[in-house]
Amino acid sequence: MRYISTRGHAAPQAFCDILLGGLAPDGGLYLPESYPHISRRELDAWRGLSYADLAFEILSKFIDDIPAADLKAIIARTYTADVYRHVRNGGDAALITPLTRLDDGLYTQELSNGPTLAFKDMAMQLLGNLFEYVLERRGESINILGATSGDTGSAAEYAMRGKHNVKVFMLSPEGRMSAFQRAQMYSLTDANIFNIAVTGMFDDAQDIVKAVANDAAFKARYRIGAVNSINWARVVAQIVYYFQGYFLATRANDEQVAFAVPSGNFGNICAGHIARMMGLPIARLVLATNENDVLDEFFRSGVYRPRASSETSITSSPSMDISKASNFERFIFDLVGRDAAVVRELWAKVDKGEAFDLSATPWWAAMPRFGIVSGKSTHSDRINTIRLAHGRYGVMLDTHTADGLKVALEHRLPGVPMIVLETAQPAKFEETIREALGTEPVRPADLASIEALPQRVVVMAPDVEAVKRYIAERA
């Protein structure tokens, strides 16, 4: 399996060669040169496999440069009872992402039982183990530099903590994350994790990361890497739970399902799109946005208009607050018949902050083929949906999953099970839960007093040179 760039000007690469990098050298995103097709016989054989065994079957289709026994061991270490709270608490280890039934044909799929209570753990934990394996094999090391406003940074740190040949330098905006989020990150004492609180906003932290990434000499000398959501390994890891959700919601492989996906950077739903292209019987992929509705606008109108950061609002489902969707280029590549010249033309506009309009093209006319529909959810929708789910179904949803359920209910098909992907636990968003229900979400016991743990963080001005010096002394 070789990987090609959506912009068509990069040499095809093997999986391990794209694992540690981000963008392709031509500025595009990597995708497999074709999607493996899963036959009905294979689907029949996969039904009933444990999560780890299913992950091995699926990932083997995409990874052919790691020996099977090694890949199997990496996956077994990743999708295991130790990592997933619900399994530690007596859940079935074969079901890493179980369904919760809301009513007939309506489910949530639990993706947030990992260390940081958000679905990003599902892929990031695999990334941590793959990084360690490949770096060891090559005798290399890497220094991961990132900026976070919450979920991504903690998922990356919990995935990379204690890993050999990996150090993480994570910038966060000082005083702008919740006490719980700060405690999650800053209480890590692993020697390879460096938390840097920048006296500024998230954008200041992000700008520093970009400035360092643009300094090719520094980047090469200190082996700077990233683990952002465009990383192909993160997307491929997410394909697995669509298959497991399908098997759990159906009795036989001639049935169809629909998934509703709370979306920001289009990473999660991109994995659903690929699962569908592989032949998984998905009738519909329901994309849900919050007030930052750049993707909903596209799927309703054919116009993709990236927003300025001044137009992006801070919402009560903050992990979906995006101005443009970094993985969206992968879907557009498929939509335009994998014509890299078209993608280059469209992203020449996007990269200048301009919109593109596909509404008058044959590609837009062919959109129904991809099964994606969309909708948006506002703060009041979110509050109402959290109340509805609690009152009618007896479950407490986090704010992002509530956005997913709100839009899912607008797009149900008769006789087709609807699976809403649960992307975080309510304990991460106490304030909004209190507003909706008047009660506090219950925290997992092991995190009950995490705010009381000693914290390790350095505070720095948003100064690129100072951050570079800090890294250079420790890398």
Task: Build a one-symbol-per-residue string for 126-155: x at contacts with ligand PLP by CB under 6 A, - elsewhere.
Answer: -------------------------x----
Our CB check for ligand PLP shows the closer of 256 and 290 to be 290
C-alpha–C-alpha distance, residues 174 and 459, integer Å = 7
DSSP 91-119: --TT-SS-EEEEETTEEEEE---STTSBT
Q: Least distance (Å) from ligand PLP to the CB of residue 56?
A: 23
Q: Least distance (Å) from ligand PLP to the CB of residue 112?
A: 7
- Please tell me which residue in 120, 163, 324, 468 is annotated as part of the active site: 120
Q: Least distance (Å) from ligand PLP to the CB of residue 423?
A: 3
C-alpha–C-alpha distance, residues 17 and 6, integer Å = 16
Contact flag: residue 97 with ligand PLP (CB under 6 A): no
Q: Using the rule CB under 6 A, give the single segment among 40-48, 88-96, 252-260, 266-274 that binds ligand PLP.
A: 266-274
Contact flag: residue 195 with ligand PLP (CB under 6 A): no
Task: Build a one-symbol-per-residue string for 234-263: x at contacts with ligand PLP by CB under 6 A, - elsewhere.
Answer: ----------------------------xx
Q: Least distance (Å) from ligand PLP to the CB of residue 320?
A: 5
Q: Which residues contact 137 (CB under 8 A, 6 or more apart)?
A: none
β-strand partners of 99: 109
Q: Least distance (Å) from ligand PLP to the CB of residue 152?
A: 7
Q: How many residues bind ligand PLP (CB under 6 A)?
A: 16
- Helix boundaries (H) for 139-231: 151-160, 179-186, 202-213, 216-221
Q: Which residues contact 34 (CB under 8 A, 6 or more apart)?
A: none
Q: Is 468 a catalytic residue?
A: no
Our CB check for ligand PLP shows the closer of 78 and 268 to be 268
Identity of residue 75 = I
Among 6, 319, 374, 432, binds ligand PLP (CB under 6 A): 319
C-alpha–C-alpha distance, residues 286 and 149, integer Å = 26
Contact flag: residue 229 with ligand PLP (CB under 6 A): yes
Q: What are 368's two structure tokens? A: 């129904």
β-strand partners of 170: 146, 195
Binders of ligand PLP among residues 410 to 439 (CB under 6 A) are 423-424
Q: Which residues contact 173 (CB under 8 A, 6 or more apart)?
A: 149, 197, 198, 200, 201, 202, 204, 205
C-alpha–C-alpha distance, residues 322 and 193, integer Å = 26
Q: Least distance (Å) from ligand PLP to the CB of residue 229?
A: 5
Closest residue to ligand PLP, based on beta-carbon distance: 267
Q: Tell me how crowded residue 2 is: count the other CB atoms within 10 A of its CB.
A: 15
Element (H, E) at 43: helix 40-46
Contact flag: residue 321 with ligand PLP (CB under 6 A): no
Task: Build a one-symbol-per-residue string for 392-411: x at contacts with ligand PLP by CB under 6 A, - elsewhere.
Answer: --------x-----------
**C-alpha pair distances (Å), 241 with each of 56, 238, 284, 325:** 12, 6, 16, 22
Q: Least distance (Å) from ligand PLP to the CB of residue 319?
A: 3
Among 54, 71, 118, 171, binds ligand PLP (CB under 6 A): 118
Q: What are 68's two structure tokens? A: 């099977």
Task: Give the CA-trace dihedral at 315, 319, 320, 322, to 10 degrees.
Answer: 90
Among 7, 85, 86, 120, binds ligand PLP (CB under 6 A): 120
Contact flag: residue 320 with ligand PLP (CB under 6 A): yes
Q: Least distance (Å) from ligand PLP to the CB of residue 401?
A: 8
φ, ψ dihedrals at 90, nearest 5°: 105, 0
Least Cα distance to 38 among 55, 4, 61, 68 occurs for 61
Our CB check for ligand PLP shows the closer of 222 and 241 to be 241
Our CB check for ligand PLP shows the closer of 169 and 266 to be 266
Contact flag: residue 268 with ligand PLP (CB under 6 A): yes
Contact flag: residue 267 with ligand PLP (CB under 6 A): yes
Among 146, 173, 264, 417, binds ligand PLP (CB under 6 A): 264
**Residues recognised as catalytic:** 120
Residues that bind ligand PLP in the complex, under the rule CB under 6 A: 118, 120, 151, 229, 262-268, 319-320, 400, 423-424
